[in-house]
Amino acid sequence: MTEAEALKLASHRHYKGGLYRVVGIARHSETLEPMTLYEHLWPNQPGLWVRPQEMFEGRIEDGRLRFTPL
């Protein structure tokens, strides 16, 4: 997938530049913690990932958002 194609589908850009699409919010089966299910679109191989919602929406050490909404 090209960057232009990924941009049409993406909902967020990672602070390192990758493009991602949030699929939805799920709950951890043991703790009920909200988890963000997201799809890596570009670059490299596509794939599904999950991360605690608080971390997905949070900031890295320098204050930038980890994932910036597009």
Q: CA 5 to CA 70: how far, in whole Å?
A: 14
Dump pLDDT digits (tens) for 28-59: 999 999 999 999 999 999 999 999 999 999 99
Q: Taking the alpha carbons of 57, 34, 39, 61 in that order, is the dihedral positive or negative?
A: positive
CA dist., res. 50 & res. 35, Å (int): 6
Mean pLDDT rounded to a whole number for the chain: 97
What are the boundaries of each domain within the chain? 3-69
66: confidence class by pLDDT, cuts 50, 70, 90: very high
What CATH class does 3-69 carry? mainly beta
The pTM assigned to this predicted structure is 0.90
Question: What pLDDT is stored for residue 52 in this prediction?
Answer: 97
| Exposure on the CB side of residue 7, measured as CA atoms within 13 A | 4
Q: What is the largest CA-CA distance in the chain?
A: 39
Encoded tokens for 55: 């971390």
